[in-house]
Every structure is written in structure tokens, then in C-alpha cells.
Amino acid sequence: MKSLAVLSSVPFESDRLLASLKNVRSIKVAGKKVFRGRLSGRDILLLNTGIGKVNAAHSATCVIENFPVSQIINIGVGGAYPGSGLNTGDLAIASKEIFGDEGVITSGGWKDMTEIGIPVVHIGKKKYFNEFPLNNAFAKKVFKLVTRHLSLVTKSGIFVTVSSTTGTRKRAAELEKRFKAVCENMEGAAIAQVCAIYKIPFLEIRGISNMVAERDKRKWDLKLASENCQEAVLEVIKNAF
């Protein structure tokens, strides 16, 4: 039987899910600890990837190569862009993932990978440069489910994955305008790329921990964001499959 894999970058983003698993056992794969258990009648794999694109891609590859995986859900916290309409504690569901850093800095500003002319990856005849579309039909189903069952503000939109998190209003406005994005993170596009290569359906849900603006951790709420995200994921695992 294939398992649903849930990936978060750090333990606090998935601690409630881990506590909810039944018949849990841990398995070491390539130095990564994978928790395997049951939840709402499903086989679940839970893995903390570590922060950033490389850790995320490595973890997604490890779990796909070593277990029969039906789908991957990437969960955790993220920053909301100013025009998104989201606030701390709200939820965001990805409709598309974009690598926000890969490309070229020119005299006219930043250009994406099409400026180089070399795709990030070929999948069949399809060339992917910076953008990885997600399964929008499933994302819409999840959006309807979450908004119907939970009293949490939820929006679906484009996510941007960066290597350097944004810490100024100017940069936030630049990325939001360029990509028409609602949420920023450090792992999602890397996992989306791996899932595209292996033809594994991918869903990404994040709780908003902060606004993408001047970096001020006093205004962040990581606990609220991670708890709300996990509440949504528990609802999704229970009712969306």
C-alpha cells in the first residue's frame, strides 16, 4: 500500500502530526529519520527535511526512492506578501511554486532562467525553468474542505521559494509584483521539482507566521502558524482522500 508523505523543514512544524500518528516507528534513510505510522486510516510517512532547497530536495528524493509514495504534502510556516490579504495565523495553499532566485542579475535587473536558456529540468518534452504548476484540481478541493470545516482565513495562490528570506519592504514589493505571489518560503519549489520528476502529486500548505516586510521577529508567531497549518493538514488527511 502506498503512503502519504508529509514533509516539514523542522520538528515544530509537524510535532502535532507526529503525536497523532498511531503505531509509530522510525526508520533511518540516508541519515534522515522517517517516522512511519497510521492516521485516519492512512499510512503516513513524516519527515523533517531541514531548512532550504537542497535539504528539501534530498529528503523528497530519499522518501520517494525508499518507500511507495502516493502523494507528498509540504507543510510548515511561511511569510505573506503585503498585498496577499493574509495575516499572521492565516493559511495559504499553493497553486504554483516558483524558484525566486534562480536566474541572472543584469544591468536591467533580475531575469529568470529563460534568460540563460537552460531549463532547470526536462520532464519528457516539457521544459521547466522557474515555475512548477501544482495539481490545481486537488488544491481547490483542499481549499474548499479547509474553508468549510475550519474557521481559518485561507487563500490559494502562487508561492515563491527563495534562498535568502526577504527582510525589507522594497524587496517584498518587488517579489510580490514580479510573481503575483501570496507566500514566501525556502523549500517548496525544490520539493515540487522532485515530485514533477517522479510524477508524484504534490500539495503545499503553510501557516502564515509573519508578513514579508522589514525583518522584526517580535511580530512573528511561529507557534500559531504551525498549529493552524497542522490543524488544516489533519483535516485534509481525514477528509480529502
Residues of the chain with pLDDT under 50: none
Q: Rounded to whole angstroms, what are the CA distances from 166 to 146, 169, 225? A: 28, 8, 18
pLDDT at 136: 87
pLDDT at 117: 97
Task: From 161, 206, 212, 208, select the one nearest 187 (Cα to Cα).
Answer: 161
Cα 19 to Cα 198: distance, rounded to the nearest angstrom: 29
pLDDT at 240: 84
Cα 15 to Cα 10: distance, rounded to the nearest angstrom: 9
pLDDT at 179: 98
Q: What pLDDT digit, counting tens, does each position of 150-191 carry?
A: 999 999 999 999 999 999 999 999 999 999 999 999 999 999
Phi and psi of 207, rounded to 5°?
Answer: -90, 140
Q: Which domain holds residue 161?
A: 3-239
pLDDT at 241: 79
Cα 101 to Cα 178: distance, rounded to the nearest angstrom: 12
pLDDT at 1: 84
215: domain CATH number is: 3.40.50.1580
- Answer whether 209's CB lies under 8 Å from 88's CB: yes
Place of cell 514589493: 173
Q: For residue 61, give the 3-state DSSP assignment.
A: helix
The mean pLDDT of the chain is 97
pLDDT at 72: 98
Structural domain count, the chain: 1
Considering the chain, what percentage of its residues have pLDDT values greater than 70? 100
